[in-house]
Every structure is written in structure tokens, then in C-alpha cells.
Amino acid sequence: MLWVDKYRPKTLDKVTVHDQVAQNLKKLVAEQDCPHLLFYGPSGSGKKTLIMALIKQMFGAGAEKVKMENKTWKIDTGSRTIEIELAMLSSTHHVEMNPSDAGFQDRYVVQEVIKEMAKNRPIDAKGKRAFKVLVLNEVDKLSREAQHSLRRTMEKYSASCRLILCCNSSSKVTEAVRSRCLNVRVNAPSEDQIVQVLEFIGKKENLNLPFGFAARIAAQSNRNLRRAILFFETCKVQQYPFTSNQVAPPLDWEQYVAEIAADIMKEQSPKRLYAVRQKLYELLVNCIPPESILKKLLAELLKKLDSDLKHEICHWAAHYEHKMRLGSKAIFHIEAFVAKFMSIYKEFLVSTFG
């Protein structure tokens, strides 16, 4: 097992990074009931870990016995029947799923599948909890229609069912849904916290950490705990007695983006833009989210940029990311950003160096 999984806190008591949040949650479920919850925060901050620990707190060890199943749902929409296959992870007390997997049919998932499950009261109501928990991941990727369908479900079946929603950005969740939940913000762990975690793992693994090593990894991880621990393990695997200046190997896709940035800085022409486009396609094909590409690209470009231009470039990056979210062909917008950058940069070069 990777250390990420091995040292994942299983109970709320053991949570180290967001201990305050964990304590609050514990108090929350100590009472008989709890509201709907919405966890949001950047990836690698520990949302799911918290949710798992919370469920365990609620239902005890029984919640840890989970099984994975692919269920096919037949939904009658009047004119035709739609078949949706969804992977679900369920224990006797709760069900986890990712409704946005259904793509544009997510509305039906919410309307039918979730409703179906929410309706059924858990049979062994003699236990202390008279409700089951539905964990919905990636709520922010749900379509607007699906979110609208969700809000009624939340109210109607609140007697027998609690929803725990999990997403990266709460702004993509509609107001209506947000106001029906207790929002729990899980922020990215600070570098100090990451260092603490790394040191904790090091101690458990009987490793000898040289001074500053953990801090370096934490800095490299971009405040992403998962990444930090993975980096840590990578370092360990590659060379155990850690050297004083050892760093983890960079992520491949980030490396590739850096190459693209270098390409852009080298030459600004339609021809180069065409070459860049091919590389961007490569990234997109390999499931890298376009937002991440744009962000990383901006970061790489900013590194090499004259400070006068930074402000403007940031502005345009934001502009094109906004447009990208409005549209559906990400490549158009990333490319437009690259072209814009090239244009500005070239103008700058010409005006300063003639």
C-alpha cells in the first residue's frame, strides 16, 4: 500500500491536518442527527478522508466494510428508456457515487437513482441512526439541471437520508443547494502542516529525515498533501539515505507544460503556435484537465516574464479561462491565450529591443 493510503487517518480523532474541522464534525454527529453537508476545497486537501472518518464516526466499523459494484439503472423518461451504468461503493449504511460520470444524463441519475435510494429507509432502524448517508462526489461537475433536481430531493427525503456532497469549488454549486447544506471548507494544508505530516510518516517508517528535507518536499507539492506524501515516498524509493539536497522528480505533465512554455518564449509565430497546439492536444488527450494546463502554463510563463507584463498576462489568462468554462472546446481557448501571450510578448520585445 502506498503511504498515502497507509497513513490516512481512519477516525476523526486521528486527523492531524484539519483537526479543528474534525473536532467540529465530531461534535456535530455526537448528537443524533446531522444536516446535509457540503465539503469543498482544493484537491489533495483531505476532503474524502474527512468524509470517511466522519462516516465511521457515525456508523462505527460497519461502515468500513464496503463493496464496489457497477449497477445499471433503467430509467424511463417517457419517450424512451435510458440505461445508465454507475459504479457505486456501498456499505450497509452508506452509498458513495459519482453522478457526474453519467455525463449529460446526470439529471436522470439525480432524479431517479438518488431519489430511489433516498426513498428507501434503512431497514434496521433499530440502530442509533435512522438514516442512510449518500456521498456524492464531484458535485460541481453536475449540470445545472441536475443540481436543480437535487435540491428538491434534499428536502423531501431528509427524514431518511443525509447527503454529503463533495466538490472542489463551491462556486459551481448552485446557491440553492449550498444553502441546504452545512458548508465545510477544507482548505489546502499549509506547508507547515505538510511538514508535520511528513515527519510523522518518517517516524513511523523509521526514516531519517535530514533537516529541511520535508520543507522542500512540502514546497514542491504546491500545498497538496497527497502530492507531498507521494513525493516523499518517491524520494524514499529512489534513494534512501536522503541526501541533503534531494528533490522529488517533477510530475511529467508539468514538465511537459514547462517545455511548451519554453517553446512559446523562444519563438512567436503562427507556425510555432501550430506546434504548440499539437502539444496541447497531447496533454488534453491524456486526461489533464484544461484548467490545470492553463494554470500551470501561466505559472511557467510568469517565471520567465518581465515583471511589467505579469499583470497583463494574468489578466488574459483569467479572461480565457472564463471563456473556456463557457465553451466546450478547451483547445480553442488555451490556444487563444497562447496566441495572446505571443502577441503581447512579441510587442514587448520589439518595443524594448527594437
Given 72, 211, 350, 354, the residue binding other proteins (CB under 8 A): 350
Nearer to other proteins, 154 or 225 (CB): 225
Nearer to other proteins, 149 or 268 (CB): 268
Given 250, 303, 306, 310, the residue binding other proteins (CB under 8 A): 250
Tell me the closest approach of the beta carbon of residue 156 to other proteins, in angstroms.
27
Cross-strand bridge partners of residue 183: 38
Cross-strand bridge partners of residue 98: none
Applying CB under 8 A, the span of 153-161, 183-191, 278-286, 299-307 interacting with other proteins comes to 278-286
Residues of span 324-343 touching other proteins by CB under 8 A: 326-329, 331-333, 335-336, 339-340, 342-343
Residues of span 105-124 touching other proteins by CB under 8 A: none
Quick check: 217 binds other proteins (CB under 8 A)?
Answer: no
Q: Which amino acid is at 74?
A: K
Nearer to other proteins, 48 or 160 (CB): 48
| HEC profile of 306-320 | CHHHHHHHHHHHHHH
Given 249, 262, 303, 318, the residue binding other proteins (CB under 8 A): 249
Q: How far apart are CA 304 and CA 316, in angstroms?
A: 17
CA distances from 144 to 66, 140, 141, 174, 249 (A): 30, 9, 9, 8, 40
Nearer to other proteins, 101 or 158 (CB): 101
Given 22, 52, 136, 167, the residue binding other proteins (CB under 8 A): 52
Tell me the closest approach of the beta carbon of residue 125 to other proteins, in angstroms.
25
Nearer to other proteins, 30 or 62 (CB): 62
Nearer to other proteins, 38 or 157 (CB): 38
* Helical segments of the chain, H only: 3-6, 19-30, 47-59, 106-108, 115-119, 144-156, 175-179, 191-204, 213-220, 225-238, 252-266, 270-285, 290-303, 307-326, 330-353
Given 207, 209, 284, 299, the residue binding other proteins (CB under 8 A): 284
Residues of span 7-46 touching other proteins by CB under 8 A: 8, 43-44
The site map against other proteins for 65-84 (x = CB under 8 A) is: -xxx-x--------------
Given 72, 237, 241, 266, the residue binding other proteins (CB under 8 A): 237
Kindly give, in sequence order, each residue whose CB lies less than 8 Å from that of residue 305, ignoring residues fewer than 6 positions away: 313, 345
Cell numbers describing residue 200: 510523522
Given 28, 182, 215, 273, the residue binding other proteins (CB under 8 A): 273
Cell numbers describing residue 64: 468500513
Collapsed DSSP state (helix, strand, coil) of residue 215: helix
Number of C-beta neighbours around residue 103 at 10 A = 10
Tell me the closest approach of the beta carbon of residue 302 to other proteins, in angstroms.
19
Strands 94-97 and 132-137: parallel
Tell me the closest approach of the beta carbon of residue 328 to other proteins, in angstroms.
5
Collapsed DSSP state (helix, strand, coil) of residue 7: coil
In contact, 110 and 149? CB cutoff 8 Å: yes
